[in-house]
Amino acid sequence: MESTGSTVAELVLARWGDHRTGLHFEQQSLTHHQVAAGAAARAALLADLLPRGAEPHVGVLLDNTPEYPLWLSAAALAGAAVAGINPTRRGAELARDILHTDCRVLVTERAQLALVDGLELPGVRILVTDTDEYGELLAPYADAGPETSGTVTPASRMLLYFTSGSTGAPKAAICSQGRLAAAGRSLADHFRLGSDGVHYICMPMFHGNAVIADWAPALAAGAGVALRRRFSASAFLDDVRTYGATYFTYVGRAVQYLLATPEKADDRSNPLRMGFGTEAGAVDAARFEKRFGVRLIEGYGSSEGGAAIQRTPDTPAGAIGLPVPGSRLAVVDAGTREECPPASFDAEGRLLNGDAAIGELVNKGRTPFEGYWRNTEADAARLRDGWYWTGDLFYRDAEGFFYFAGRTDDRLRVDSENLAAAVIENILARWEGAAAVAVYAVPDPVAGDQVMAAISPRPGVDFDPPAFAEFLLSQPDLGTKMAPRFVRVVGRMPVTATNKVARSLLRREGFRCGDPVWWRPGAGAYRRLTPADEAALLSQYRAHRREGLLPLPEQPLPPTRPQPRIAP
């Protein structure tokens, strides 16, 4: 029976004595009871390892192995917090993340040891899970009982998870046991997730998506969990069938990678009931359901917990949904602090007043945002004028439904008109030849921005510039300023460790990159950008003293692999 526990610790202990299979990983399986008992042993070990007076924080630098949920559960029982350490960070930046979150214990594995080798981590005890020494260290605690630290309350810190560091060092957002338990129960109830399900966790567990939207609802519902060490599009369906997975979450471009795998006659033969995530886009969601027979539900929740939008049965196509009950969300012009007018659409669904309707999503009511660890400056930037500012662009229709339009740094200004990258991406994603699309700004030689798109063609598909131009002309909701001036053809879309498009990298490289770039100097056809074209463009930037806005091509990056084919 599902627990109504107000803390994660209570949800963990609710599985004590439950001998159904609770965790799958490769050839291993553990019962719910074994997971809870393993967590109790690790909690007791952690209590002895933490120095007196130290912050109860443990860093976890692991792939998605069983040790990850075991240590999440152990931290809950011990009244400690897990800091998810990003394995794509290196050197001093990686050390900074561990030390900034005051981790006195770091749990890792032999495959990650090279990342911490040579780092100065004073006072940090490193545990290597796949070693005999680790087993010997845990052995004395094998009989630990179903107990929690006497200090555990709903307010106890549970997670310290790093958010985007595109404008400085990553910030460690705080999530309490109460908030994580509530999020798990809410999602389990909203999606009617039951104890008979299996949650497939293939997104990295150092990121909030996998823990908050996948692991926590499984814990709340009493469902099983199946782990994939790292996301693999080619292994996805095999895993789903092997483990009987019924639910999964995704972030960023994972759905596009799944759609890019070779189609098979039995694709729809799988036990999945639904997928939940962000940034799949309406076009790819429809393609996914048609091919795999699985409905994808797009949701929105700021990583820090300050705002959330959920889909309702009457949510229009393209919209995310309505604010969760009790919240006061608004779309606001960051300059004037006034609410933006509702969006207007023409008969074809084209957004007519994007310049006025698109603004930043804010929460004017009570917010569950619990702050950043030791970062009062970031707290103040997030909470301004008594409101919670998400940093995300949205627009709202007359009926109150909210539509995602991108990050605030994904806004483009073309010929004095404000555009949102996500709106253009959703249109370009309709092109059948595209496996992935990213839209971003490059500086205009005179003023404002120009639209640039990176396109990764589907396997075996040639990029055909004339056909792409015809496609653009046939899109009724593509505004006159939205058509890409530059198109970069990439073999594989660059992504972050959480499968989000690395737009900062694309913006930084601009049109001076190692991949083929096509452009339209005016309203004519796309043609290949040549060195002579590039030199002429640079002279325009110099003439208007805007050359400094372009990235320096001192160390050009190699082209993405594999190289795309270009139609003759």
Which CATH number do you get for residue 503? 3.30.300.30
- 403 with 478, same domain: the answer is no
Q: What is the pLDDT of residue 326?
A: 81
Say if residue 466 is preceded by a cis peptide, omega within 30 of 0: no
- 164 with 226, same domain: the answer is yes
- 340 with 210, same domain: the answer is no
Helix spans in 384-487 (H) = 421-428, 465-473
- Tell me if 132 sits within 8 A of 120, measured CB to CB: no
- 137 with 226, same domain: the answer is yes
Q: Is residue 122 part of a domain?
A: yes
Where does residue 256 rank: exposed (0-12), middle (13-18), buried (19+ CB within 10 A)? buried
- 173 with 256, same domain: the answer is yes
Q: What is the pLDDT of residue 488?
A: 97
Q: Is residue 54 part of a domain?
A: yes
pLDDT tens digits for range 177-223: 999 999 999 999 999 999 999 999 999 999 889 999 999 999 999 99
Between residues 125 and 150, which one has the greater pLDDT?
A: 125
Helix spans in 338-406 (H) = 354-357, 376-382
Give the least confident one: 65-79, 249-263, 413-427: 413-427
Q: What is the pLDDT of residue 561?
A: 44
Q: What is the pLDDT of residue 551?
A: 65
Q: What is the pLDDT of residue 554?
A: 41
Give the least confident one: 342-346, 536-540, 543-547: 543-547
Q: Flag whether pLDDT at 36 surpasses 50.
A: yes
- 34 with 173, same domain: the answer is yes
CA 455 to mean position of chain CA atoms = 20
Instruction: Give whichever of 163-172, 306-315, 550-559 has the largest mean pLDDT.
Output: 306-315
Q: What is the pLDDT of residue 280?
A: 80
Q: What is the pLDDT of residue 25?
A: 98
- 272 with 351, same domain: the answer is no
Q: Flag whether pLDDT at 2 surpasses 50.
A: no
Domain boundary among 298, 329, 363: 298
Q: What is the pLDDT of residue 406?
A: 74
Q: What is the DSSP letter of 452?
A: E
Residue 389 has phi, psi (to 5 degrees) of: -100, 120
Segment 287-316 shows an average pLDDT of 92
Q: Is residue 305 part of a domain?
A: no
CA atoms of 290 and 155, how far apart (whole Å): 43
Q: Flag whether pLDDT at 552 surpasses 70.
A: no
- Tell me if 43 sits within 8 A of 9, measured CB to CB: no
Q: Is residue 556 part of a domain?
A: no
Q: Is residue 555 part of a domain?
A: no
Which CATH number do you get for residue 139? 3.40.50.12780
Q: Is the dihedral of CA 529, 531, 532, 534 positive or negative?
A: positive
Residue type, 12: V
| The two three-digit tokens of residue 360, written as one number | 């930043």
- 26 with 91, same domain: the answer is yes
The domain containing residue 367 runs over which residues?
318-409
- 249 with 123, same domain: the answer is yes
CA atoms of 251 and 260, how far apart (whole Å): 16
pLDDT band at 555 (very low <50, low <70, confident <90, very high): very low
Q: Flag whether pLDDT at 54 surpasses 70.
A: yes
Where does residue 255 rank: exposed (0-12), middle (13-18), buried (19+ CB within 10 A)? buried
Q: What is the pLDDT of residue 252?
A: 67
- 346 with 448, same domain: the answer is no
Q: Flag whether pLDDT at 133 surpasses 90.
A: yes
Give the least confident one: 64-78, 237-251, 303-317: 303-317
Q: Flag whether pLDDT at 473 surpasses 70.
A: yes
- 81 with 14, same domain: the answer is yes
Q: Flag whether pLDDT at 369 surpasses 50.
A: yes
Q: Flag whether pLDDT at 484 surpasses 70.
A: yes
The most distant pair of C-alpha atoms in the chain lies apart, rounded to whole Å, by 75
Question: How many structural domains comprise the chain?
Answer: 3
Q: What is the pLDDT of residue 413?
A: 77
pLDDT tens digits for range 113-127: 999 999 999 999 999
CA atoms of 276 and 247, how far apart (whole Å): 8
Q: Is residue 429 part of a domain?
A: yes
Q: Is residue 260 part of a domain?
A: yes
Segment 511-539 shows an average pLDDT of 90
User: At how many degrees (to 10) do helices 67-78 and 32-49 cross?
Assistant: 60
Segment 479-489 shows an average pLDDT of 91
Q: What is the pLDDT of residue 556?
A: 42
Residue type, 240: V
Closest CA to 275 of 261, 289, 259: 289
Which CATH number do you get for residue 337? 2.30.38.10
Within 13 Å, how many C-alpha atoms sit on residue 213's CB side? 28
Mean pLDDT across the chain, nearest whole number? 90
Q: Is residue 272 part of a domain?
A: yes
pLDDT tens digits for range 241-291: 999 999 999 986 788 889 989 999 999 999 999 999 987 877 888 899 999
- 227 with 369, same domain: the answer is no
